[in-house]
Amino acid sequence: MKTYLTAAMALAVLVTPTLASAQEPRTVTSAEKQRLIAEAQEHNRALAEREKTFYASQQRLQQQLKEARASGDNTRYAELQKQAQENDQQRERQRAANAEYQQHIKNVYALKTKD
């Protein structure tokens, strides 16, 4: 789960200057635009993989919560509840970073080529 936060922070650092400059018209070579598009597609593939991993871990956590509740282990249940809340918060931060990156991708596709 810490990987999501680290990736989001790294992405924010990389994308923020690009997003800021996206308001001004930018012209790039066709090769540069294709490289940027390929990077965006790879990012989307990695994002889809992280989504699958996240949902699988959420399902495991929900199962652990059920087991802790059924066994009457209130301490373990409370720990798992806290972890679930932290995961939800982390997921919201990741969604915000992903939304920014999706805007960056739209900007990449809108770039004009000079050749």
| Distance separating alpha carbons of residues 8 and 98, to the nearest angstrom | 8
pLDDT value at residue 60: 95
pLDDT value at residue 75: 96
> Using 50, 70 and 90 to split pLDDT, how confident is the model at 11?
low
Long-range contacts made by residues 36-40, C-beta under 8 angstroms, separation at least 24?
36/108, 36/111, 37/108, 37/109, 40/104, 40/105, 40/108
| Distance separating alpha carbons of residues 53 and 1, to the nearest angstrom | 9
- Strand boundaries in the chain, DSSP class E: 27-28, 112-113
Regarding predicted confidence, which is higher, 28 or 73?
Answer: 73
11-25, 79-93, 101-115: segment of lowest average pLDDT: 11-25
The percentage of residues in the chain with a pLDDT greater than 90, rounded to a whole number, is 35
Span 14-30, pLDDT tens digits: 555 555 554 555 788 88
pLDDT value at residue 2: 52
Overall average pLDDT of the 99-112 stretch: 86
Overall average pLDDT of the 81-109 stretch: 88
pLDDT value at residue 5: 47
